[in-house]
Structure 1
Amino acid sequence: MKLIHIDSSALGDQSVSRELTAAIVTSLRRQHGGLQVSYHDLVADPLPHWTPAADAEDPSAARGGELLDEFLAADVIVIGAPMYNFGIPSQLKAWIDRVAVAGKTFRYGANGPEGLAGGKKLVIASSRGGVYSAGSPAAGMDFQETYLRGVFGFLGITDIEVVRAEGVNMSAEHKRKVLDAAHESIGREDRLAA
Structure 2
Amino acid sequence: MNVLQVNSSARVFENDQGSHSTRLANELSARLLADHPGATLTVRDLARQPHPVLDESALGALFTPADARSPEQAARVALDDALIAEIQAADVVVLGVPMYNFGVTAQLKNWIDAIARARVTFQYTEKGPVGLLTGKTVYAVLSRGGVHRDTPTDSQVPYLRAVLGFLGMTDVHFVYAEGLAMGPAAEAQALASARAEIAALLSRSEEEATA
TM-score (norm 2): 0.85
> Could you tell me which of 19, 27, 30 is aligned with 1:15?
19
Q: Is the 8 A contact 2:93 2:138 kept in 1?
A: yes
Pairwise CA RMSD of aligned residues?
1.5
> Could you tell me which of 124, 132, 152 is aligned with 2:164?
152
Q: Is the 8 A contact 1:56 1:62 kept in 2?
A: no
- Paired amino acid for 2:18: Q
> Could you tell me which of 76, 81, 84 is aligned with 1:60?
76
Q: Which residue of 1 aligns with 2:51?
A: 47
Distance 1:66 1:166, change over 3 A: same
Quick check: 1:115 aligned with 2:131? yes
Structure 1 residue 164: deviation in Å? 0.8
Which protein, 1 or 2, shows the higher relative CO under an 8 Å CA cutoff with sep ≥ 6? Answer: 1
Trace 1:1-194 onto structure 2 (pairs within 5 A): 1-12=1-12, 13-50=17-54, 51-52=58-59, 53=61, 55=69, 57=71, 58=73, 59-134=75-150, 139-188=151-200, 189-190=202-203, 191=205, 193-194=208-209
Structure 1: gaps of 5 or more residues: none
- Paired amino acid for 2:3: L
Distance 1:175 1:108, change over 3 A: same
Q: Deviations over 1:97-147 (max 9, x none)?
A: 11111111111111111111111000001001111111xxxx222222221
TM-score (norm 1): 0.92
Structure 1 residue 150: deviation in Å? 1.1
Q: Is the 8 A contact 2:180 2:190 kept in 1?
A: yes
* Bigger radius of gyration: 2
Distance 1:56 1:106, change over 3 A: farther
Structure 1 residue 42: deviation in Å? 0.3
- Paired amino acid for 1:131: V
Q: Is the 8 A contact 1:8 1:82 kept in 2?
A: yes
- Identity percentage of aligned residues: 38
- Paired amino acid for 1:157: M
- Paired amino acid for 2:23: E
Structure 2: gaps of 5 or more residues: none
Q: Which deviates more from structure 2 when the two are superposed, residues 37-46 or residues 47-56?
A: 47-56
Between Structure 1 and Structure 2, the one with more helix by share is: 2
Hey, what's the Cα distance between the residues in 2 that align with 1:15 and 1:45?
15
